[in-house]
Amino acid sequence: MNEAIRSDDFGGELMLGEPMSRHTSWRVGGPADRYYRPAGIDDLSRFLAALPADEPVHWVGLGSNLLVRDGGVRGTIIATHRVLDGIERLDGNHVRVEAGVPCAKLARHCARWGLGQAEFFAGIPGTVGGALAMNAGAFGGETWRHVVAVEVIDRQGRRHRRMPSEFSVGYRSVRGPAPEWFLAADLEFESEGSGDPDAIRKLLARRKETQPIGEPSCGSVFRNPPDDYAARLIEAAGLKGFSIGGARVSDKHANFIINTGDASAADIEQLIDHVRSVVERIHGVRMQTEVRVLGERP
């Protein structure tokens, strides 16, 4: 069932029973019933329109910020990375970028164009679609501060252009018309010549020094509580290096959980729950996760 098949009606690639461990940065996750990589936006529109009305649909970019349970995912996964990958400069300080573009690639393009305030995207380990869906941020920057308009697609495959006023945006939180998914965004940055050409290099060096880059993780697991930092609370609770199965709280950054090589999704989820419960018992703070949990337990 893992063999790629082609439908006469669609130009993309449809895989049945596809292991999600191949598509998540934690390298865990059971099989998806259907995993579809569209040939483009028009193909995606036709595919969505043809799905049964009750078919669960989930979108995945780079698979960061995502924990897929060991029992896998019922329904269809739509893969955007390397598909919705367009990026263009519209004018002096406006950029159009599609949802499957890695945030780091957006930061590099803006640096070449001399646009300021885009450097923080280099610190987000996912795609622009994921950044739009959760108002992702890093190093003091946040995605929706730069949004001028977005293009979305609905369950019937129809495309719409929407303004920021149609969304409720908060810290790592975005609510808008549903069910719709982000295809692209028009973003505004500071004008040409305002960017620091070395800013991305400096931010990436800082990230490498403070985060376990190169080890399987999802990025930050917990949101920072008001006026505090999740990593500080976890470290102060004595949880750095704590392990369950193959999952371990990073010794380098306490808000990262690492797959040491043989972790299951259950190991990671149990460790998340343990960290949250210990921090609440010691500090009286109930931490909220950034990571999205998807799928079923075995």
pLDDT (0 to 100) of residue 7: 58
Q: Does domain 213-294 have CATH number 3.40.1590.10?
A: no
- For CA atoms 100, 216, 214, 249, the dihedral sign is positive
Say how many C-beta atoms besides its own lie within 10 A of residue 117's C-beta.
18
The pLDDT value given to residue 116 = 87
pLDDT at residue 8 in the model: 60
Rounded Cα gap, residues 28 and 25, in angstroms: 8
C-alpha–C-alpha distance, residues 106 and 128, integer Å: 8
CATH code for residues 87-188? 3.30.465.10
Going from N- to C-terminal start, the domains of the chain cover 4-79, 87-188, 213-294
Residue 161 annotated in active site: no
pLDDT score for 281: 98
Q: Which DSSP string corresponds to the chain?
A: --SEE--TT-SSEEEEEEEGGGSSTT----EEEEEEE-SSHHHHHHHHHHS-TT--EEEESS-TTEEE-TT-EEEEEEE-TTTS--EEE-SSSEEEEETTSBHHHHHHHHHHHT-BS-GGGGG--SBHHHHHHHT-EETTEEGGGGEEEEEEEETTS-EEEE-GGGSEEETTEEE-SSSEEEEEEEEE-BPTT-S-TTHHHHHHHHHHHHS-TTSS--S--BPPPTTS-HHHHHHHTT-TT-EETTEEE-SS-TT-EEE-SS--HHHHHHHHHHHHHHHHHHH-----B-SEEES---
Q: State pLDDT tens for residues 131-174.
A: 999 999 988 899 999 999 999 999 999 999 999 999 999 999 99
277-296 per-position pLDDT tens digit: 999 999 999 999 999 999 99
| pLDDT value of residue 76 | 95
2, 24, 26, 31: which is closest to 15 by C-alpha?
Answer: 2
Closest to 157 in 3D by CA, of 254, 54, 48: 48
pLDDT at residue 35 in the model: 96
| Cβ pair 87, 106 in contact under 8 A | yes
Which of the following is catalytic: 21, 220, 250, 264? Answer: 220
pLDDT of amino acid 5: 40
**Given the residues 151, 188, 269, 290, the one annotated as active site:** 290
| pLDDT at position 197 | 65
pLDDT at 202: 80
Q: Is 296 one of the annotated active-site residues of the chain?
A: no
Architecture of the 4-79 domain: 2-Layer Sandwich (3.30)
Cα 170–chain centre separation:
16
Give me the catalytic one of 108, 172, 207, 292. Answer: 172
Residue 8 buriedness (CB in 10 A; 0-12 / 13-18 / 19+): exposed
Q: Is pTM beyond 0.75 here?
A: yes
**CA distance linking residue 43 with residue 62, whole number of Å:** 20
Instruction: Please tell me the predicted confidence (pLDDT) of residue 199.
Output: 77
Distance (Å, whole) CA 92 – CA 203: 24
Active site residue 290: yes
Residue numbers in the chain where pLDDT is lower than 50: 1-6
Closest-CA residue to 219 (of 66, 100, 108, 105): 66
